[in-house]
A and B are shown apart, each in its own frame.
Chain A
Amino acid sequence: MNIDDFNLLSKLIKDRSGLTLTKDKAYLLESRLLPVARKWNLKSLDELVMRLRTRSEAGLVRDVVEAMTTNESFFFRDIKPFDQFKQVVLPFLLQARGANRTIKVWSAACSSGQEPYTLGMMLKEERQKLIGWNVDILATDLSTEILAKAQAGLYSQFEVQRGLPIQLLVKYFKQAGDRWQIDSAIREMVRYRPFNLLDELSGLGQFDVIFCRNVLIYFDQPTKQMVLERMAKQLAPDGFLYLGGAETVVGITDKFQPMANHRGIYHHANPAAAARVAGL
């Protein structure tokens, strides 16, 4: 691929999704965009770039951007964060939100739904403690295609075996041909909505817990900072932010700080917030 084409594509993708492509990742453009070219009846990547230069069709641009996202996800990813949710975060919120008995959770790059559904199953397992409570799970992603999959709640045999305890498979899934579908009772706990993390977040409201896992890794430093600082405004003063195993706020923003004793969870970086979660 010539350098002009690479620059055009990488700029388009960066502007629309935040994904930063370095030149050594040019091969990814080829492997991911050829199927898009085929779908649009274009013979090659050259033709695809030509088409992007001459007309700006929203559908084609969207397909290009979505094709470049990495959607890998699994149930109970990394296990620990979800143990912490059950043992630390949920008990804290049950205390702190006793007045209005509402907990708001946002899965900010939910991919095919494993993250919000993991939370849904955990909350179902804890339902005795949640009688009279309203837990709202908002799950968003840039990719409308992956959101459709999340909404359907249909997973391959391979997907249900990565992280999902067998007891929960039996309890919350039904076999549908060679796939497994999560029960409507869990599906109905999650509100899905397309949302781009580069957009203004203020319309989404305030959350007690934000899961923003394994998406910031694809962004450059200024984009990470922008997204995190906007998220700080949407997180309750005593709320919790989850990042992925390879992500951190350290060196990126001073709006958050890591929770003592709980790797992967962050809270507002101010003495009042720190005092509230101290000792958890």
Chain B
Amino acid sequence: MKFCLIVDDSRVVRKVARRILEDLNFEIAEAADGKLALEACLVRMPDVVLLDWNMPVMNGLEFLIELRQAPGGEVPIVVFCTTENDIAHIQAAIGAGANEYIMKPFDSDIIHAKFAQVGLL
């Protein structure tokens, strides 16, 4: 079973994503901001991170940059999932090492398609 960390400051979004990903047979952990997510990764590296951009304390991009420098942090597949939908944001995310990018609103079809694309399904 693959392990997915869902990082989003909205409890509702985490819940929706969790439901979709549990149906796809992922083991799930949640974090409410980038800093908590980084701490969780250092305890146990996930196979994939579903990552919001705008969050308090540490945002998604800052988290990603830190993650990629951490020991073992190059391994997880990182899929952004954010309302930021302009090319500049997408390019910044790819530049920082994101593997895929979902523009909210999302649904199970999109998660399914994106996860299949990066070889998780």
Confirm or deny: B113 has a beta carbon within 8 angstroms of a beta carbon on chain A: yes
Q: Tell me if A167 and B94 are in contact (CB < 8 A).
A: yes
Confirm or deny: B25 has a beta carbon within 8 angstroms of a beta carbon on chain A: no
Q: Tell me if B116 and A79 are in contact (CB < 8 A).
A: yes
Q: Tell me if B90 and A166 are in contact (CB < 8 A).
A: yes
Confirm or deny: A162 has a beta carbon within 8 angstroms of a beta carbon on chain B: yes
Nearest neighbor of B102 in chain A, beta-carbon distance = A161
Q: Tell me if B86 and A175 are in contact (CB < 8 A).
A: yes
Task: Name the contact of B114 in the complex, choosing from A161, A167, A175 (C-beta under 8 A).
Answer: A161
CA distance A116 to B29 in the complex (A): 40
Q: Tell me if A161 and B87 are in contact (CB < 8 A).
A: no
Q: Tell me if A169 and B110 are in contact (CB < 8 A).
A: no
Q: How many residues of A contact B (CB 8 A)?
A: 15
* Most B Cβ at <10 Å: residue of A161, A162, A165, A167: A161
Confirm or deny: B109 has a beta carbon within 8 angstroms of a beta carbon on chain A: yes
Q: Tell me if B103 and A79 are in contact (CB < 8 A).
A: no
Q: Tell me if B87 and A170 are in contact (CB < 8 A).
A: yes
CA distance A79 to B90 in the complex (A): 22
**Residues 130-158 of A at the B interface (beta carbon under 8 Å):** 157-158
Task: Name the contact of A169 in the complex, choosing from B90, B106, B109, B116 (C-beta under 8 A).
Answer: B90
Instruction: Note all chain B residues with C-beta closer than 8 A to A74.
Output: 113
CA distance A175 to B89 in the complex (A): 13
Task: Name the contact of B113 in the complex, choosing from A161, A169, A174, A175 (C-beta under 8 A).
Answer: A161
Instruction: Note all chain A residues with C-beta closer than 8 A to B85.
Output: 157, 175
Confirm or deny: B117 has a beta carbon within 8 angstroms of a beta carbon on chain A: yes
CA distance A197 to B94 in the complex (A): 42
CA distance A201 to B78 in the complex (A): 47
Q: Tell me if B117 and A165 are in contact (CB < 8 A).
A: yes
Q: Tell me if B103 and A170 are in contact (CB < 8 A).
A: no
Confirm or deny: A194 has a beta carbon within 8 angstroms of a beta carbon on chain B: no
Confirm or deny: A163 has a beta carbon within 8 angstroms of a beta carbon on chain B: yes
Confirm or deny: B53 has a beta carbon within 8 angstroms of a beta carbon on chain A: no
**Residues 56-99 of B at the A interface (beta carbon under 8 Å):** 85-87, 90-91, 94, 98
